[in-house]
Amino acid sequence: MLEIKGVDRRGLPEEPREEVLKKRAIGIVDQVEKRASSLGWQGRSLNKGGKIETVLAGLRSRPLALLISQLEGYKDEKGEAFFTEKAEVLDSVLEDLLLVYVWGLGQKFEVHAAFWGEKPKEWESDYWQLAQAISSGYPSGGIPFVQLLDYSNQESNLFKRYLMNGENEQVDYFIGQPIESAKMGLAVKNLSKSSISPRQAIGLLIEQKGEETSK
Mean pLDDT of each 10-residue bin along the chain, 215 residues long: 45 79 95 97 95 94 91 88 86 97 95 94 94 94 94 88 91 93 83 85 92 75
12 falls within a domain: no
Q: What is the pLDDT of residue 212?
A: 80
Q: What is the pLDDT of residue 5?
A: 46
Contact predicate 152/172, CB 8 Å: no
Q: What is the pLDDT of residue 186?
A: 87
Q: What is the pLDDT of residue 215?
A: 65
- The Cβ of residue 65 has, within 10 Å, a number of other Cβ atoms equal to 23
4 falls within a domain: no
Contact predicate 99/36, CB 8 Å: yes
176 falls within a domain: yes
Query: Count of residues for the chain?
Result: 215
- The Cβ of residue 90 has, within 10 Å, a number of other Cβ atoms equal to 23
Contact predicate 66/153, CB 8 Å: yes
11 falls within a domain: no
Q: What is the pLDDT of residue 168?
A: 85
Mean of the per-residue pLDDT values of the chain: 89
Domain count, the chain: 1
* Contacts of range 27-36, beta carbons closer than 8 Å, 24 or more positions apart: 27/91, 28/64, 28/91, 28/94, 28/95, 28/98, 29/56, 29/57, 29/59, 29/60, 29/64, 29/98, 31/95, 32/56, 32/95, 32/98, 32/99, 32/102, 35/95, 35/99, 36/99, 36/102, 36/117
The answer to pTM > 0.85 is yes
* 18-76 pLDDT, tens digit each: 999 999 999 999 999 999 999 999 999 999 999 999 999 999 878 999 999 999 999 88
Print the domain residue range for 198. 17-213
118 falls within a domain: yes
Q: What is the pLDDT of residue 9?
A: 52
Q: What is the pLDDT of residue 8?
A: 53
204 falls within a domain: yes
1 falls within a domain: no
Q: What's the CA gap between 141 and 159, in Å, rounded?
A: 19
